[in-house]
Structure 1
């Protein structure tokens, strides 16, 4: 039996990875800020992090924070793994398709963490995936709080089902270090406009949809498809299928 540490193990992706690894018979340690016995803020490190990594054969790094600090968190995790001799066999990191092509702040951070992983001296695997269905829905729900849904013009997306990414990440975690794994994209490349209209229909919301041209290098890169992987459309579940599960019988509302 292998001992595997999953950082961010209670999050959108991490909890599914944890379930799959446990089902495969591994001892899985879940590290998150508020879940004992490994309640650790990776940005701060400390003795709790050392205890979490000690004895771990593999580390799956899913933790991320919208508040920033991902680079420091990765440095702390790698340093702890080195001290303990843990994860030396395998450090697995989940990243995003296009982090090296789209000059968007969060993408720059993910790319920086990729480089830390690659230069860690540990065996490593990096999997890049397109945006999860969950993220696209969250963005659209936030936009729908206004009476008009304002969308970036001429931008497409390729959302993927998070459980499918969890399947692949768990598979990689149980194998030998693979370096950069093949990218993983959703089954369809669609305009953001079509995704928004699908969400409105499924949720029963009524909103005018307006496409707005934006400025800047990041927008240009998104518009040019730098975050897409049409040649790696290996996901199976579509956004429409995801919406049917989330809104099985939505009644129209304002």
Structure 2
């Protein structure tokens, strides 16, 4: 039985990885700075407190681990700035513990966007690519939750934003978790990288209308410009990987489940 560690196992993606690995019959150890309450834990997984910033508890948490998935995330401020450093720390700790393969979740073409969040993701991927360890980097498209969150935030002020010329290929965390676990179980010492996008490319306006219908929102779907480097990145379709579609859950499926 494989012992899989999930660094950041209490976050959105990390929890999905923990759930998928447990369901597949693997022994799973979730690492996070703070232990989640009992009702937020996946039954069958072990939860261990470990802090990659300080190193507290990390070596003990990785003892006996066969493979590791890093799914940490942060959106802004000091936590975002620390992400690349913590990825380096994760690799160093994995090396000390004799972990056979380390897998990183990051964003499709993050290095081509000047936005700070994307640059941090690109720096993390570079650490894995240049590491002397056996590593896999999974470059994923945006989650259903992200786009749904944009619509929900705008609806609070009466506008469901649909950025002009923008499409998404959103993926479910469950579908992505299957890819991450498969990479963790990948044998051999060679490096690998894969791209993973959702099953369908959809215009943001179409997605906004679907969200409005599913939620019963009274807000107005509104076409808006998205200036700056991030807008240019999205309009160029650099967030899309139509030739690397995986999984089955579309944005509409996700809405129906919600």
Q: Distance in 2 between matches of 1:64 and 1:116?
A: 16
Instruction: Name the counterpart of 1:50.
Output: 59
Match of 2:247 among 227, 235, 239: 235
Instruction: Name the counterpart of 1:219.
Output: 231
Q: Deviations over 1:59-98 (max 9, x none)?
A: 110111224121121122122223x2332x2001111112
**Partners of 1:14 and 1:62 within 8 A in 2:** yes
CA RMSD of aligned residues (A): 1.8
Instruction: Name the counterpart of 1:94.
Output: 105
The structure where helix makes up a greater share of residues is 2
Q: Distance in 2 between matches of 1:99 and 1:179?
A: 19
Instruction: Name the counterpart of 1:85.
Output: 97
Matched, 1:63 2:59: no
Instruction: Name the counterpart of 1:123.
Output: 134
Note the 1:1-254 alignment, pairs <5 A.
1-35=1-35, 38-42=48-52, 44-66=53-75, 67-68=79-80, 69-82=82-95, 84-87=96-99, 89-176=100-187, 179-246=191-258
Question: Normalising to structure 1: TM-score of the pair?
Answer: 0.89
| Residue 19 to residue 150, structure 1, CA distance change in 2 (3 Å) | closer
Q: Secondary structure at the match of 1:205?
A: coil
Q: Secondary structure at the match of 1:100?
A: helix
Q: Distance in 2 between matches of 1:213 and 1:5?
A: 42
Q: Distance in 2 between matches of 1:61 and 1:93?
A: 5
**Partners of 1:131 and 1:160 within 8 A in 2:** yes
Q: Deviations over 1:111-170 (max 9, x none)?
A: 100111122211100111111112221221112111123332211111112111111111
**Partners of 2:136 and 2:191 within 8 A in 1:** yes
Q: Deviations over 1:182-209 (max 9, x none)?
A: 3111111111111111101100001122
**Partners of 2:102 and 2:134 within 8 A in 1:** yes
**Partners of 2:104 and 2:136 within 8 A in 1:** yes
Q: Distance in 2 between matches of 1:164 and 1:179?
A: 22
Q: Distance in 1 between matches of 2:226 and 2:150?
A: 17
- Residue segments in structure 2 that go unaligned for 5+ positions in a row: 37-46
Query: Aligned-pair distance for 1:178?
Result: 5.8
